[in-house]
Amino acid sequence: MQPSPAITTVSSPEASPTTYPLLTSDEALFHACLENITAQRCHVQCKPRLLEILHPENVAGFLKICQRHIDFLIYRKGDWLPMVAIEFEDDSPGKASRKTRDRQLVKDIFSTFGIPMLQVHAKDITDIDTLVHKMSTAWQQRNANLEIMPPPSEECAPHALTTRLMKAACSSIS
């Protein structure tokens, strides 16, 4: 019995897909830096697609965000609410190909939802004090945005005790 051509093609050494790391070495170093800075007081997600964060209500919205991602997203610990988006700039080839228009679209989307977006360059990750200051300022800005935005619908509203715990956790980060 002959194997099907599709299986042969995928399993042959010449046609095997290659894997590559999710993060460049600079991104991995920055992720480790973020993990140390946050000391597990919040969640750090690498390269989440915008589609996982936002829920477009129409096809045009879906098409604009379905293939885009942000480099890092910091979430509150208790409810996984997005707090700070980070675009990491390094000299990797993939970054050079991102268009200014795409970056502006992502920036506009996060701005619309009141989520601060930081841009951090690889050469700046050794300046921990500045990085902590930027992240703390962005976190406080997000908290302020949450106070002026309408509360979530009743079905999504967290329990009152959970809300008090989250507020205590958020104040310890800033």
User: 22-148+158-173: what CATH class?
Assistant: alpha beta
Question: Contact, 116 vs 85, CB < 8 A?
Answer: yes
pLDDT value for 147 = 87
To the nearest 5 percent, what fractions of the chain are helix, strand and coil?
55, 15, 30
pLDDT tens sequence across 56-87 = 676 677 777 788 889 999 999 989 999 999 99
- Measured CA to CA, the distance from residue 82 to residue 139 in angstroms comes to 10
Q: Please tell me the pTM assigned to this model.
A: 0.71
Mark residue 40 as left, alpha or beta (left: phi above 0; alpha: psi -120 to 50; beta: remaining): left
- Mean pLDDT for each consecutive 10-residue tract of the chain (174 residues)? 50 73 93 92 94 75 81 93 93 61 82 92 91 94 85 40 39 40
pLDDT value for 74 = 96
